[in-house]
Structures are given as C-alpha cells and as structure tokens.
A and B are shown apart, each in its own frame.
Chain A
Amino acid sequence: MSPKKQPFETPENYFYEFNERLQKRIRKERQPEKPKVRKSIWLYASSSAAAAVIVGLFITLLNQEKKFEKQQEALEIGLFEEIPDEEIINYLSNSDVFMQSFIQSEGKNVDEFTFEEYETLYNLQYE
C-alpha cells in the first residue's frame, strides 16, 4: 500500500536545506553562557564606574560649595575690618529705623555716639 499523499506543501528545497539550518541552531545552542557572562561583567563594570563618577562629582561639588562659603566669609570679615566704626554706626543707625528713633528718644545725636555706646544700647534693646 502506497503512503497517503500529505495534505500540505513545503517551500522548495525545504528538506534539503533543513540539516544545515539545524546544525547552525545546535552550534548556537552549544555555545554556553560565556558571552552572557562577559556581557554581565561589562555591565557591572560600567554601572560601577558610572556610580563612582556620580558620587565623585557630588563630593567635588559639595567641597567646592564649602570652599566658596569659606571664601565668602573670609572676604566679608576682611571687608568689615577695613570699614571704620563710625561708618558702621552710621549705616546701622540709618538702616535700623527702630534704633535711630531710640537714639533720638534719648535726646542725643546719632553722630555723637561711640561704637561702644551704640553696642550697649543695641544690647539693651534686643536682650
């Protein structure tokens, strides 16, 4: 008895080319995890490097900010040292309306005040 005719057709040369394609697939499956391992090592290395760069940048920025603050502080102290006491008293009495009115309420002239007197008054007022 002859075998029954199959109900479908196959693309041309399908069975002829099948062995080669199968060999390729088996070869591909035979190559174990090596590339994957290598890939994951590179992945870990690059992500660690990126994390290190980010942390480094953050620390550098933080240090720079601190340095800048210190510089600003030193600059301000230096500038204040150069300013005569009278000028500071004048500035403060002109800018501080409350102190000015207080000095005037004492019946005194702002220009007559020494820095120490001003400081005593200021402390009395704000203690």
Chain B
Amino acid sequence: MQEPIVLKVSKTITLEEQFNQIVNEYKERLYWHIRKIVIDHDDTDDILQETFVKVWNNLEGFREESSVYTWIYRIATNESLGFLRKKKRRSFFSLSNADYDLASKLDVYPFLEAERITHKLQKAILKLPTQQRLTFNMRYYDEMKFKDIAQILGKSEGAVKAHFHHARKKIETEMLDES
C-alpha cells in the first residue's frame, strides 16, 4: 500500500490547512473503505462527510498516540458500522436484514461480463461476518498492515490475522462452489 503522506498532525500549519490536507489525502481511500462496507453510493457519501465532520471537530484535541491514518479509518469504520446497525434496527419488522439488503444492493449496480468475478467476490465477501469482512477488505483491497488493521478495529494483531485467514478460506470455498 502506498504510504500515507499525512501521518501525524503537523504543528507548523493552521488547523484548517491540516484539515484540508487530510481531506485531500484520505477522501478517496476512505470512500472506497466505506463503500465496501455499506455498498450504496449515497450512503457512502453521507458517511464520508460525517467522518470528516468528526475529524474536523476533534482535530484540535487529537492526541498523537496513534497516527492520523488509523484514527481516521477508525472513525470511518465506526460510522459505517453504526449506520448498518441503525438500518438493521429499522428493518427489524420488515422480515429482511441489513446483510440481505447489502447483497440485493450489489445486484443493482451493473457489472460487465468481464467483471463477473469481481461481482462474485463481492457477494462472497458480503456473506462473511462483519469483523472478517472488514479485515479482508482492508488487507486485500487496501493492502494494509495487520498491525494497522488491528489498531483500526481495536483488536489484537493475532485476532485480525485469524479473521483474515478464516475469511480467505470461506471466500475460496464460496467461489469454488459457485463456479
């Protein structure tokens, strides 16, 4: 994975400049990170904005114990999971669940024949438990270090490695079964 430019909050520039730098550096990565969790573009856009609003509101008091990079990813992940929890609560009486909705949303987006494998992979990923899904996406697509993933999810490095291992096995089985 390409090393993030902004790793620590600099004290030589204004807060607003720091914020703009963070937005420009992370907006695209965070968009894809959130999008793979909630699937829908509009939901992703809303969560991404909310994430940056939270970053802005807390930037001044940010302690440099962790890097900005893992801190922002953690906010984005929590916002996305919070969004899914709310959706699940709302669909409690509608005989469907949020996971089912995510899978059906996936079918709404047109995939070319050449992207059939990508579509299949996404469907298999959506069948994973949340922690495994998050770990797999961050490791496979964003090529993050296990150490960083562990920090973002608030788990131990060993637990995250185990999540990734189980996720990969399940996806392999799913893909082979489907073909």
Contacts and interface: CB of A to CB of B under 8 A. Distances in A.
A1 interface: yes
Nearest to B24: A19
A4 interface: yes
Contact of B140 (A4, A10, A11, A29): A4
B27 A18 contact: yes
B63 interface: no
Given A15-B27, A15-B28, A7 B143 contact: no
B146 interface: no
Given A25-B53, A26-B56, A10 B122 contact: no
B46 to A, nearest CB: 10
B121 A7 contact: yes
Contact of B143 (A3, A18, A19, A25): A3
A1 B119 CA distance: 22
A1 B122 contact: no
A3 B33 CA distance: 13
B34 to A, nearest CB: 11
B49 interface: yes
Interface string B44-62: 0100110011001000000
B83 interface: no
A8 B35 contact: yes
Interface of A: 1, 3-11, 14-15, 18-19, 21-22, 25-26, 29
18 contacts: A1-B143, A3-B141, A5-B118, A6-B35, A6-B141, A7-B36, A7-B118, A7-B119, A7-B122, A8-B35, A8-B41, A10-B41, A18-B48, A19-B27, A22-B49, A26-B52, A26-B53, A29-B53
Interface of B: 1-2, 20, 23-24, 27-28, 31-32, 35-36, 39, 41, 45, 48-49, 52-53, 56, 109, 115, 118-119, 121-122, 140-143
